[in-house]
């Protein structure tokens, strides 16, 4: 059973770009474990099969440790940033293996995600209870392709089962450009009267309700997101652009990122002016909040991590960035009412744009 399964899997994985990795000569279980690997960008995927009918499952821990060490050697050689291991147990999953899986942790040597599957005598794949959320949907695809072992169709793409999202853009050109423009505008403000000078801010296009809507200076819907009041105001927003903006562009794409930044910034500026019509405001807070909302929506829909970010991390970052925005706006003298409006307006806009775009892209 095991040899037939491994032989068919070897053909299918080879057709999908995987390479069979030879186990070292000192393997404690020669012939009973097979290992394949494939590198895709910053991700490395492994398929490992275990012949449970031949392995001593009562002493399974040393076997798994040996496999872990093999994976460690491979990932260190190619400097992988993230790895996903599909552990496929062929044979009867006894209590010893179940216990080990339930107590197992993610590998310590690289951000690694383990997934566990069992194969019965009919070559049908079953996921172990420890398999992550979303596995059931992909499991049917995996069963369908495994049922055609040796056929023309490649095995399920590893990205379908991976807990990590795949980037769609290599270089975040718009994020870098926006960071550069914000720095340039701040320098110009400082050179021509100061970034905390109200008249100078108005001259450069700061947000103000009456000037924008009564005098129809509609460019003020856009220009405030490139102006900042004081160095700390600039520094905090640029920090969040580096943390979230670069990732958002890499995983959502160039044009979606630009659309989210601009629309969220405009919505944030409108909300800010409506909340305080007499105030003069500036800053990228609405646009930055929109980026956070967009990344959160993307992860919510796809159920994927973005590098080392998961939904909990994103929720924490949104709370921290919002709190820091309130502090920075107080230091800049624009007040909490304006900060609240800009942050919430931008956050909501970015969330819903990304939600719609991601659902459309993934046909959800």
Sheet holding 112-119, edge to edge: 19-21, 33-40, 43-51, 82-90, 112-119, 125-127
| 306 beta partners | 309
- At 363 the three-state DSSP class reads coil
Q: 285, 289, 321, 354: which is the annotated catalytic residue?
A: 285
Q: Cβ(335)–Cβ(279) under 8 Å?
A: yes
Q: Is 205 left (phi over 0), alpha (psi -120 to 50) or beta?
A: left
Q: 82, 228, 233, 343: which is the annotated catalytic residue?
A: 343
Is 285 among the residues known to form the active site? yes
- Residue 96: other Cβ atoms inside 10 A: 16
Cα–Cα distance for residue pair 300/356, rounded to 1 Å: 12
Cα–Cα distance for residue pair 253/174, rounded to 1 Å: 10
Helices 336-361 & 285-302 angle (0-180, nearest 10) = 30
**Residue 205 half-sphere exposure, CB side, CA atoms within 13 Å?**
16
Is 276 among the residues known to form the active site? no
Catalytic residue annotation: 285, 343
């Amino acid at each position: 059973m095991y040899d037939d399964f491994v032989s068919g899997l070897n053909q299918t994985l080879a057709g999908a770009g995987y390479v069979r990795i030879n186990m070292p000569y000192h393997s404690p279980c020669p012939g009973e474990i097979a290992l394949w690997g494939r590198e895709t960008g910053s991700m490395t995927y492994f398929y490992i099969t275990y012949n449970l009918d031949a392995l001593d499952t009562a002493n399974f821990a040393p076997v798994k440790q040996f496999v872990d060490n093999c994976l460690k050697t491979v990932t260190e050689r190619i400097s992988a940033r993230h790895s996903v291991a599909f552990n496929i147990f062929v044979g009867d999953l006894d209590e010893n293996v179940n216990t080990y899986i339930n107590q197992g942790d993610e590998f310590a040597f690289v951000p690694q995600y383990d997934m566990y599957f069992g194969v019965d005598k009919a070559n049908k794949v079953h996921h172990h209870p420890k398999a992550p959320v979303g596995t059931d949907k992909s499991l049917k695809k995996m069963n369908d392709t495994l049922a055609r072992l040796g056929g023309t169709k490649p095995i399920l793409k590893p990205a379908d089962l991976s807990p990590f999202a795949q980037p769609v853009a290599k270089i975040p050109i718009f994020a870098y450009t926006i960071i550069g423009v914000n720095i340039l505008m701040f320098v110009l403000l400082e050179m021509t009267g100061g970034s905390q000078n109200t008249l100078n801010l108005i001259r450069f296009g700061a947000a103000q309700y009456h000037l924008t809507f009564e005098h129809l200076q509609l460019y003020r819907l856009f220009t405030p997101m490139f102006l900042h009041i004081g160095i700390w105001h600039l520094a905090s927003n640029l920090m969040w652009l580096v943390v979230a903006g670069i990732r958002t562009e890499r995983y959502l794409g160039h044009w979606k990122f630009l659309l989210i930044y601009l629309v969220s910034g405009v919505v944030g500026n409108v909300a800010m002016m409506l909340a305080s019509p007499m105030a003069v405001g500036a800053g990228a807070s609405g646009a930055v909040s929109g980026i956070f909302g967009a990344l959160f929506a993307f992860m919510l829909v796809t159920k994927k991590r973005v590098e080392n970010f998961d939904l909990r991390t994103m929720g924490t970052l949104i709370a921290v960035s919002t709190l820091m925005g309130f502090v920075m706006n107080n230091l800049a003298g624009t007040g909490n009412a304006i900060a609240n409006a800009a942050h919430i307006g931008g956050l909501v806009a970015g969330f819903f744009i990304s939600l719609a775009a991601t659902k459309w892209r993934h046909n959800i």
